[in-house]
Amino acid sequence: MSNKLIWFRNDLRTSDHQGLHQCATSKHPVIGIYCLDVKLFQANALGFRNSGQARLNFLIESIANLKSELQKLGSDLLIYQSPAHLAIPKVCNALSIDEVFWQELSGPEEETDARLVQTELKKTNIKVNTYWDSTLASLSQMPFSLEQLPDLFTTFKNRVEPNLSPALPLPKPSHLIGIPHQIPQADLPLNKDEIRENWYHLKGGEEEALLRLKAYTWESNAIQQYKVTRNGLIGKDYSSKLSPYLAIGCISARKVYAEIKEYERLVKSNDSTYWLIYELLWRDYFKWVLVKYGSKLFQINGLQNKPHPWNNDKATFEKWRSGNTGQPFIDANMRELLHTGFMSNRGRQNVASYLCKDLGINWLWGAAWFESQLIDYDPSSNYGNWAYQAGVGNDARNDRKFNPVKQAEQYDPNNDYVSFWLNQ
C-alpha cells in the first residue's frame, strides 16, 4: 500500500479538503506536513517583522488545531520551520512517500515555493497531485479565459454570478490511515503576551471557524442584518468575522457559500444574506486578478502602470502605523490594528485613503504594514484592495477619497469607538 503526504498550505482544515478526501476514499496511508515560513519572523526593509504577533498567533493556533484534528482521525501533522523544498523530500525519504498532494496558490512567492518542491520530488520520481480550491468556482467554470478577466469587479460579478454554482463541500473523512513515524519536529512559537484581547477575540483553527459560521447564521441570525451592520466598528456581530479563517483555509469559501444557501432555504433570504455572497465574490475576484497579473500587483505603479510621486517620508509613515497622526478616527483604527490584528472594513478604507490621498505616502508601505499585522492577511485581497484605494488597481475612479471627520460623524456619532482606543 502506497504512502501519501499532504503539504498543507492555505488549507488548514480537514473538511472540504480534496487531498484528504482522495486519500480517505482510496484508503491510502497519509500524513500531513506544514512548513512554517521562516520569513515570517524576519524584519522587512521598513524595519518591522513580516508577521506581527497577533497574525502569527492566529496562524499557530490554526496549525495546532489541524494537528489535533488529524490525530483524532488517525493521522498526524509534521511541523517544520524550514523551506518546503528542503523538508518535504526528507520526509518523503524517511516515510517511503510515493505521492505528495498540495493546494495550488496564486502569487509569485507561492508559485516559486511549489516549483522548488516539484523540482526536488522529480529527482526521486515522487508523484505530485495538485488542485485549485481557493475560490468558489474554478477557472474552467468561468464564462471567460484568464486573459479576458474583466478589470472591473462589477463586470466580473455580472458575468459570473448568473451561472455561479460552486461544487458542494467535500465531507470530512470519518477515518484516516496514518503513517507511523518517529521524526523530530519544530515547536510552535505561540506568544500571547504581545497582543491584547478585545470584544471579538478570535482564536485560530478549523474548529473555531465552524463554530463562528454557526454562531453568525443559525444561532444569532446576525447574517440577516449584515448589509445594515457591515460598516460597524464595535462588537463581534457587525460582520461575519470569517475572513481570518478564509485567509488561511480553516474554512473554505464553498463551505461558507453552501451554509448561506442552506440558511436562505430554511430560514430567510434577503439583501443581507446575499451581501455576504457578494463579499465572497469580491474575495474571488482578487484571487483571479493575482493569477492574471502576478508580480505586477506588488509593484508601485500597480496594474495601471500609473506613475505617481509617492512620498517616502518614514517619520510620517511611523506616525500613521502607530496611530499618532493627530486625526482621531484614523489613530483609533490604527491602534486597534496594532493591538489586536484586526480592523473593520470601514476602518481599512479610511486609513488606506488617508495614507495614500492625504499623506501621499507610498501605498506599498501601507500594504506591508497590513501584511504584518492582519490576522486575515491574504496576498491577493490585501494588495488588491490597497492598489484599489491608491488609484493604481481595479478601480475606474481615481479620485476616491474618504473624509475621516465626516466618516467618524457618520459611523461613530457618539465617539464610542474613538474614545475606547485613544484612551487605552
pLDDT > 90? residue 229: yes
In a domain, 189, yes or no: no
In a domain, 197, yes or no: no
**Do 41 and 64 fall into the same domain?**
yes
pLDDT > 90? residue 123: yes
In a domain, 194, yes or no: no
Q: Taking the CA of residue 116 as centre, how many other CA atoms within 13 Å lie in the half-sphere pointing to its CB?
A: 12
**Do 148 and 261 fall into the same domain?**
yes
In a domain, 173, yes or no: no
The pLDDT > 90 percentage for the chain reads 87
pLDDT > 90? residue 322: yes
**Do 48 and 126 fall into the same domain?**
yes
No. of H helices and E strands in the chain?
17, 5
**Do 241 and 328 fall into the same domain?**
no
**Do 384 and 309 fall into the same domain?**
yes
**Do 356 and 261 fall into the same domain?**
no
Give the domain range for residue 222.
Answer: 137-165+204-292
Q: CA–CA separation, 320 vs 333, rounded Å?
A: 10
Q: Which string of b and e fits 256-286 if b means at least 16 CB within 10 Å?
A: bbbbbeebbeeeeeeebbeebbebbbebbbb
In a domain, 316, yes or no: yes
**Do 278 and 357 fall into the same domain?**
no
pLDDT tier, 185 (very low <50, low <70, confident <90, very high otherwise) = confident
pLDDT tier, 191 (very low <50, low <70, confident <90, very high otherwise) = low
* CATH code, domain with 113: 3.40.50.620
pLDDT > 60? residue 193: no
User: What is the pLDDT, as a whole number, of residue 130?
Assistant: 97
* CATH code, domain with 284: 1.25.40.80
- For residue 24, give the C-alpha cell: 480517505
Q: What is the mean pLDDT of the chain?
A: 94
**Do 258 and 400 fall into the same domain?**
no
**Do 314 and 276 fall into the same domain?**
no
**Do 238 and 357 fall into the same domain?**
no
CA 370, 374, 378, 380 dihedral sign is: negative
User: What is the pLDDT, as a whole number, of residue 182?
Assistant: 85
pLDDT > 60? residue 145: yes
Q: CA–CA separation, 366 vs 361, rounded Å?
A: 8
Q: Mean pLDDT, to the nearest integer, of 92-111?
A: 95
**Do 264 and 373 fall into the same domain?**
no
Final residue belonging to a domain, choices 133, 154, 176: 133
In a domain, 191, yes or no: no
pTM: 0.96
In a domain, 219, yes or no: yes
**Do 262 and 234 fall into the same domain?**
yes
In a domain, 183, yes or no: no
User: What is the pLDDT, as a whole number, of residue 225?
Assistant: 97
Q: How many domains does the chain have?
A: 3
Final residue belonging to a domain, choices 241, 264, 292: 292
